[in-house]
């Protein structure tokens, strides 16, 4: 489709203006067909950017290797350019929007020379759903087009819903590597140097401008940029929730169904939980979404959630048949792999895949690599943030409702973190405001991999939204409180905190995790149904010792340990929140949260 055929005059002019600025050799409007996807993959193979994988082992799969400077989200180059700096808040990087647009317009000028400009109309959420939103991404990367085909709903059907005057979020993207006459990428991943990368969000005008990176959340602008940073602003203004949450469907042995969402900082097993295989007889868990939930109120006063994405963009290292068999099944075909290792028979391998490297590999840098298990200094064959992009519809446990335009009614919110002590296995909030307090203090123990904090320090990541909230986090807490105040609390989801990561004195995990987490989900399900046994404590409702069926290897004493209230530990937690966490938000921190802090402290001292 060409630009002249666009029926939306505003969109047509925006595309024409972008083409005049970026000067591509040609412009294509994406139609979302399989033929288009296949053509994008062929372009990347023909230019040496992609390697086709073994069709017997991984049909329809390809492997990309990115530039070493372009392997992850670049948080220090990610900006919330609100008109006033105070509206971006202390957890975001801010640049004056006028100044930033001037800088970036200079970078965009001529940035697509020698390339094709692709116009990607995409829907976040089922096309036509009342909860969905439409975006249009302009890009010069066929890699981005192919990934967006998997991660969103793309093409002509989106333009039909948009019509001649529909609302869309405009998204600029360029890899920032114009080509001179006769110049080709010649197999080299195109991107700009780190100091020229910008991932910019303009909350008031609802625009996303990305430059210089071709990778992941920096370039697939439907993902974190629209689905969280811009959508969180839309949600605040329109009275709904855009959250960094998985969505699960749980069915008990009697055939009763409940849907729950969960927010977890990175490295806390979120994707594994989203595709969990229960060990508890008679219970089933199905996936609605693994990363993002958009929730709006239905006519019955309940919150209904959609997964705005159409695919999984998962971290490969550590994914294996034990940790996440359903993810492994999902990515056996029609999947884009990025920065994993290539085997001699054109399959893929990564650290933590569950077996040793099969002979000589080509690592993510394109070099020969032979596993040396005795060498602790050996660099990994797959980048620690290497990824797979796989269609959600291929997941063996995708729920039949996953594309229901109405969404699914949510019974519970889970928050969690990686905490070796103090925080119990599961804890239910006493009220909505107590739950918001729990979400606001989410923290996870820092591992040795984080360079900026000492291992063992607790890094606070409120609601697991720290890098993704598009405005001041104090105002975000206020929005959550307002949701509770303006709706019938009896119809709102109940709020729980979970912690699968408690350790004993020897430093070993007490709870086995993975499929055994179904035992905790069963108690949460029962609490939502009004049947689960619990005790009222200073920190919330905890299960009675016999309320959760114990898995093998967990003793009665273990259960008592991970379900008790650690008074001294909680007092230290409250002191840390009061001294080091809440003051960051200044006078924007809602007084209701300080009141909640005081109330818990009082109960602990009683």
By annotation, the residues acting in catalysis are 268
Alpha helices in 109-214 (DSSP H): 142-151, 156-162
Angle at 455 between CA 442 and CA 263, to 5 degrees: 25
In whole angstroms, what is the distance from residue 199 CA to residue 218 CA? Answer: 6
- Of 76, 82, 99, 405, the closest CA to residue 236 belongs to 82
239 C-beta neighbours (distance < 10 Å), count: 13
HEC secondary structure over 520-532: HHHHHHHHHHCCC
Query: How many Å apart are CA 250 and CA 241, to the nearest integer?
Result: 22
- Helix, strand, coil shares of the chain, percent, nearest 5, are 30, 20, 45
Give CA–CA dist 223/72, Å, rounded. Answer: 13
Phi/psi of residue 283, each to 5°? -95, 145
CA-based nearest residue to 204, from 500, 470, 25: 470
Transcribe 293-338 into DSSP letters.
EEEEE-TTS-EEEE---SEEEEE-TT--HHHHHHHHHHTTSS-EEE
User: DSSP strand E in 336-478: where?
Assistant: 336-338, 341-343, 348-349, 361-362, 368-369, 387-391, 408-416, 426-428, 443-445, 458-460
- Using CA atoms, how far apart are residues 367 and 387, in angstroms rounded to an integer? 19
What residue spans of 78-128 are helical by DSSP H? 85-88, 97-108
CB 122 within 8 A of CB 148: yes
Question: 92: exposed, middle or buried (C-beta count within 10 Å: 0-12, 13-18, 19+)?
Answer: buried
Sheet of strand 361-362, all strands in order from the earlier edge strand to the far edge:
348-349, 341-343, 361-362, 368-369
Please give the backbone phi and psi of residue 271, each rounded to the nearest 5 degrees, phi first.
-65, -40
């Amino acid at each position: 489709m060409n630009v002249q055929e666009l029926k939306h005059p505003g969109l047509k002019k925006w595309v024409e203006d972008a083409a005049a600025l970026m000067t591509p050799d040609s412009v294509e409007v994406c139609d979302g067909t399989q033929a288009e996807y296949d053509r994008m993959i062929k372009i990347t193979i023909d230019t040496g950017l992609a390697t086709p994988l073994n069709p017997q082992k991984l049909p329809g799969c390809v492997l990309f290797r990115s530039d070493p400077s372009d392997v992850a989200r670049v948080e220090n180059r990610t900006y919330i350019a609100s008109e006033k700096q105070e509206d971006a808040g202390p957890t975001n990087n801010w640049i004056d929007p006028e100044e930033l647009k001037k800088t970036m317009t200079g970078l965009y000028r001529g940035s697509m020379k020698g390339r094709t400009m692709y116009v990607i109309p995409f829907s976040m959420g089922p096309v036509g759903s009342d909860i969905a939103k439409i975006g249009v991404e302009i890009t010069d990367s066929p890699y981005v087009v192919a990934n967006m085909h998997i991660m969103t709903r793309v093409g002509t059907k989106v333009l039909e819903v948009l019509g001649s005057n529909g609302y869309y979020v405009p998204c600029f993207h360029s890899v920032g590597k114009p080509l001179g006459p006769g110049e080709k990428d010649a197999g080299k991943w195109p991107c700009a140097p780190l100091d020229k990368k910008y991932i910019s969000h303009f909350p008031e005008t609802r625009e996303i401008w990305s430059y210089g990176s071709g990778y992941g959340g920096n370039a697939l602008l439907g993902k974190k940029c629209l689905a969280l940073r811009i959508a969180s602003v839309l949600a605040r203004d329109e009275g709904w929730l855009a959250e960094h949450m998985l969505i699960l469907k749980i069915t008990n042995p009697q055939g009763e169904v409940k849907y729950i969402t969960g927010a977890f900082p990175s490295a806390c097993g979120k994707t594994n939980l989203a595709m969990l295989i229960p060990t508890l007889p008679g219970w089933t868990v199905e996936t609605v979404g693994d990363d993002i939930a958009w929730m709006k109120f239905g006519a019955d006063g309940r919150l209904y959630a959609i997964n705005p994405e159409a695919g999984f963009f998962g971290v490969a290292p550590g994914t294996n048949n034990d940790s996440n068999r359903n993810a492994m099944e999902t990515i056996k075909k029609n999947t884009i792999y990025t920065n994993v290792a290539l085997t001699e028979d054109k399959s893929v391998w990564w650290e933590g895949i569950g077996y040793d490297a099969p002979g000589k590999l080509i690592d993510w840098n394109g070099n020969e690599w032979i596993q040396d298990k005795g060498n602790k200094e050996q660099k990994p064959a797959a980048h620690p943030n290497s990824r797979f992009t796989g269609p959600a519809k291929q997941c063996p446990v995708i729920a039949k409702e996953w594309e229901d335009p109405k969404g699914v009614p949510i019974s519970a919110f889970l928050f969690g973190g990686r905490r070796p002590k103090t925080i119990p296995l599961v804890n239910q909030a006493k009220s909505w405001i107590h739950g918001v307090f729990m979400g606001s203090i989410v923290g996870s123990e820092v591992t040795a991999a984080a360079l900026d904090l000492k291992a063992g320090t607790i890094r606070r990541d409120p609601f697991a939204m720290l890098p993704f909230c598009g405005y001041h986090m104090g105002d975000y807490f206020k929005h959550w409180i307002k949701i509770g105040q303006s709706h019938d609390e009896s119809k709102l989801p109940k709020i729980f905190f979970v912690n699968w990561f408690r350790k004993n004195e020897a430093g070993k995990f007490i709870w086995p995790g993975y499929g055994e987490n179904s035992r905790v989900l069963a108690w949460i399900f029962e609490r939502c149904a009004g049947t689960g046994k619990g005790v009222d404590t200073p920190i919330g409702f905890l299960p009675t010792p016999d309320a959760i069926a114990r898995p093998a290897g967990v003793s009665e004493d273990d259960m008592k340990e991970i379900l008790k209230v650690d008074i001294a530990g909680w007092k230290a937690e409250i002191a840390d929140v009061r001294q080091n966490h809440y003051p960051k938000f200044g006078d924007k921190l809602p007084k209701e949260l300080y009141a909640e802090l005081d109330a818990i402290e009082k109960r602990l001292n009683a």
